[in-house]
Amino acid sequence: MSTQNTDPRAELKRKAAIEAADMVREGMVVGLGSGSTSAFMIEELGRRWAEGLRFCAIPTSERSAEQARSHGIKLVTFATHPQIDIDIDGADEVERGSLNLIKGLGGALFREKIVAAASRKFVVVVDDSKLVDRLGARVPVPVEVATFGWTSTARQLEALGARITQRMDRSGNVFVTDGGNMILDCHFGAIADSARLQAQLAQVVGVIETGLFIGRTSEVIVATATGLQKLVAA
C-alpha cells in the first residue's frame, strides 16, 4: 500500500497512525484496529516488521487480518495470548475531556471492544474533526444485534429514544458483521450521559454490543493541521 495520498486529512491521519505504531516494542502483543486510520497503522507496522521488529497481533476484523498477513505479521488468538499490551484503533467520535468514544461505523465494533477490553493500553488515533463536546452530536450509535427478532430489538431501542436506520452495504443489501450479526444505527442526537445510555442499551434483549466505548481510552493521538496532539482523560 502506498503512503502517498492527495487527501490532506488522510495524510494527517497517516502521520498520527505512524506515531501510534511507534509505541509498539519487541515482543509485544498488539491489537490491530479496523478502518482507514488503522490501515495506515498496520502499514507502518508492516514496514517495521520488514526491518526486523517482532511482535504478534490480534486483529479486530477480517480486513485488518488480511492486511497484516500480507506483511507477514504473526497473528495469534486469545487462547494463547489472553492479555494484549497495546491496542491501536480509530474512532468515529471522541468526547473532549472524558475521551469516551463512538466506534463502529466501519462495522467491527464488537470485536473492537473485545480487543480493547483485553488491552493494558488502548490508544485511539483520529483527526481533529472527530472531537466533539457530546457523543452523538454528529454520528449515530452503532448497535450490533442478533438477526433473530431484530425488529423486536429495534422497537425496544426506539423506546429509549433512538431513531433507527438499518445498516446496509454498498450493494444495497443488509450489512452483516464478521460475526454474522446486523447493525442498527441509533440516532440519539447529543448524548447527555453516555455511560447511562450504554447501561440502558446493554439491557435490551437482542443487543450484542454497542459502539459506545466508555472509560476505556488510555490516550488519543489527534492529527491537526498544525501537528499532533496527545490527549488523556480528564
At residue 7, does pLDDT exceed 80? Answer: no
Compute φ and ψ for 222, nearest 5 degrees: -110, 125
Gap between the Cα atoms of 179 and 26, Å rounded? 31
Q: pLDDT for 119-163, tens place per residue?
A: 999 999 999 999 999 999 999 999 999 999 999 999 999 999 999
Strands (E), the chain: 29-32, 56-59, 74-75, 84-89, 93-95, 101-102, 119-127, 131-132, 141-145, 163-166, 182-187, 207-210, 212-213, 219-224, 227-231
Distances in Å between the alpha carbon of 43 and those of 75, 104, 128, 166? 15, 21, 22, 32
pLDDT recorded at residue 34: 94
Whose cell is 484496529? That residue is 33
Instruction: Report pTM.
Output: 0.93
Q: What value does the mean pLDDT take over residues 194-221?
A: 98
Query: Which one of the listed residues 19, 112, 144, 209 is annotated catalytic?
Result: 112
Q: Is 11 a catalytic residue?
A: no
Q: pLDDT for 174-183, tens place per residue?
A: 999 999 999 9
Q: pLDDT for 87-104, tens place per residue?
A: 999 999 999 999 999 999
